[in-house]
Structure 1
Amino acid sequence: MSDGIGKQFMLETTYKYLSPSLQRQGVPQPPLQLPYDPSASVVALPVINGLPEPEMLLSTAIKERRTLRRYQDTALTLAELACLLWATQAVTSKSSPKHTLRTVPSAGARHAFETYLLINRVETLTPGMYRYLAIEHALLPLDDDPGINQRVTAACGDQSQIHESAVTFLWVAIKERMYWRYGERGYRYLHLDAGHVCQNLYLGAQGIACGVCAIAAFDDEALNSVLKLDGENRFVVYLASLGKK
């Protein structure tokens, strides 16, 4: 059997094959966050500095964590959603324009993900697709078409936990943010960073009586198309459905 593309990828992203990064070549750093229309109406989120009281012990959250695919037909509060976003992408320190420090680790503090949210049941929010603006701690509405839930679900092989979730998180890689520093090896770090983010979602969800199902089975082209991503410079890496236990 000939070597597959996976083995070739691991070989060609070793240090001995890497060219000087764009950073070393003097190329300006990409922005810390995707731009958006300043006249757009955004949804301010409650200010959060931790998980709700009483906070669950970390050891308990780790021990009791389980993947959950069936959810109660109960809405999240906006504060609960804000807690989950705090756990997965909150900016705790900003050194503009160089980097942000967040509640999750990231290679070189690149934080190359934008968090998209398929909202189905969150109090005060119209169902649809949103993007989390981590620096502003706000939500940017993207698509309120009633069919967006079904289109995302279909692109993920009709997995029912997406359709029935209160919210599904979609982590979209912004390639240039990672590639600028690490070149081809940065593709490795994108996938590692996605794991850091999703694990925090699992643990944070425990504290608000929610369950999570991490999802990596999806039609890349179809899902990127639903989100209007080019699939090369911006693309979905990972998803996670979430709802009340």
Structure 2
Amino acid sequence: MTKGIGKEFMEKTKHKYEEDSDQEKGLPQPPLELEWDENAVLIGLPSVDKLEMKSMDLRKAIETRKSLRKYADTPLALEELSYLLWCTQGVKQVVSRPATLRTVPSAGARHAFETFLLINNVEGLKPGLYRYIAISHKLMEISTDPEMAQKVTTACHEQEFIKNSAVTFIWSAVAYRMKWRYGERGYRYIHLDAGHVCQNLYLTAGSIDSGVCAIASFDDDEINKLLGLDGEEQFVVYVATLGKRIQG
């Protein structure tokens, strides 16, 4: 392995090395979200406009935020999952550029992320792997393999609390969605954006009596393969478990 690869990355993604981006070359931008099989099972989520979640003071949410690795057996309501997805990647508007304006910031409104979900304990959903279709606010069923929770756990270096979560969020990046505008420097912005997304999950979880644990330790090749990603043009960046707090 090349020594100092991190330093090399920071050096070579400085602005002084920039070349004309594909946007500057007049090339068409990539789609705002990945396509899906027209025969896929799509599941409608409760409308965000009709969700009634209890309010929580922002300062309290920040002060009480901490990583939680032990969860109650209480299932997550589908309405709560809908709320979490909207707060982390929800599309507020599609504008004419075209671009999506979402509930989290992203460099140039590029929003490179796709959200995958390992569902373990959510009312009305079969356990398995799903993908969030953000623009239409729906879920797409990918696999209901009964071993999926163990496979994700194995890919994340046997962190057992993944299997005990109500849901585990897996955020993958579509690299060209960011690189189209920013070239190689876009890789920096992808990782910055991941922090914005996961922090929203942490803060939102507090309002539904839940806790989160962010995970950056995983076998990249294994988890990408599990999700059907090539690991180069699209790859997993961040993972986070969520479940109800144990009361008492």
Equivalent residues of 1:31, 1:97 under 8 A apart: no
> What is residue 220 of structure 2 aligned with on the other side?
220
Residue pairs, 1:31-110, within 5 angstroms: 31-49=31-49, 52-96=52-96, 98-110=98-110
Give the equivalent residue in structure 2 for 1:18: 18
| Other-structure match for 1:200 | 200
Q: Which residue of 1 aligns with 2:236?
A: 236
CA distance in 2, matches of 1:96, 1:135: 14
Offset, 1:53: 3.7
Instruction: State how many pairs are aligned.
Output: 244
Q: TM-score, normalised by structure 2?
A: 0.96
Secondary structure at 1:169 match in 2:
strand
Aligned position for 2:142: 142
1:166 aligns with 2:152: no
Partner of 2:5: 5
Q: Render the CA deviation track for 1:3-29: whole Å, top value 9, x for unaligned.
A: 511000000000111111111111100
Determine if contact 1:51/1:204 at 8 Å carries over to the other structure.
no
Contact 1:50–1:83, Cα closer than 8 Å, also in 2: no
Residue deviations 1:48-84 (CA, integer Å, cap 9, x gap): 1497443011111111111000000111010000010
Evaluate the alpha carbon distance shift between residue 50 and residue 156 of structure 1 in structure 2; reply closer, same or farther with a 3 A threshold: farther
C-alpha contact (below 8 Å) 2:112/2:175 kept by paired residues: yes
The 2-side partners of 1:88 and 1:50 are apart by: 18
Distance change >3 Å, CA 51–CA 187, structure 1 → 2: farther
The one-letter amino acid paired with 2:121 is R
Relative to the length of structure 1, the TM-score reads 0.97
SS in structure 2 of the partner of residue 19 of structure 1:
coil
1:163-192: CA deviation from partner (whole Å, max 9, x where unpaired): 110000000000110010000000000000
Alpha-carbon RMSD: 1.3
**Mind listing any 5+ residue stretches in structure 1 that lack a counterpart?**
none
What is the Cα deviation at residue 137 of structure 1? Answer: 0.3
Q: Distance in 2 between matches of 1:172 and 1:198?
A: 12
Kindly indicate whether the alpha-carbon contact (under 8 Å) linking 2:107 and 2:193 is maintained by their aligned counterparts in 1.
Answer: yes
Q: Determine if contact 2:113/2:173 at 8 Å carries over to the other structure.
A: yes
Inter-partner Cα distance in structure 1 for 2:106 and 2:58: 21
* Structure 1 residue identity aligned to 2:127: P
How far apart, in 2, do the equivalents of 1:175 and 1:164 lie? Answer: 31
Percent identity at matched positions? 58
Q: Distance in 2 between the 1:190 and 1:4 partners?
A: 21
- CA distance in 2 between partners of 1:48 and 1:22 (Å): 35
Question: Aligned equivalents of 2:148 and 2:72: distance in 1?
Answer: 21
Given that 1:168 and 1:239 are in contact with CA atoms closer than 8 Å, whether structure 2 keeps it comes out as: yes
Amino acid paired to 1:185: R
Q: Is residue 53–residue 208 contact of structure 2 (8 Å, CA) maintained in 1?
A: no
In structure 1, distance between residues paired with 2:54 and 2:172 = 32
| CA-to-aligned-CA distance 1:199-236 (integer Å, 9 cap, x gap) | 00000000000000000000101111111110000100
The runs of at least 4 consecutive aligned structure 1 residues that moved more than 3 Å come to: 49-53
The answer on whether the counterparts of 2:51 and 2:79 sit within 8 Å (CA) in structure 1 is no
Q: 1:76 corresponds to which letter in structure 2? A: L
Task: Quote the Cα distance in structure 2 between the aligned partners of 1:229 and 1:86.
Answer: 24
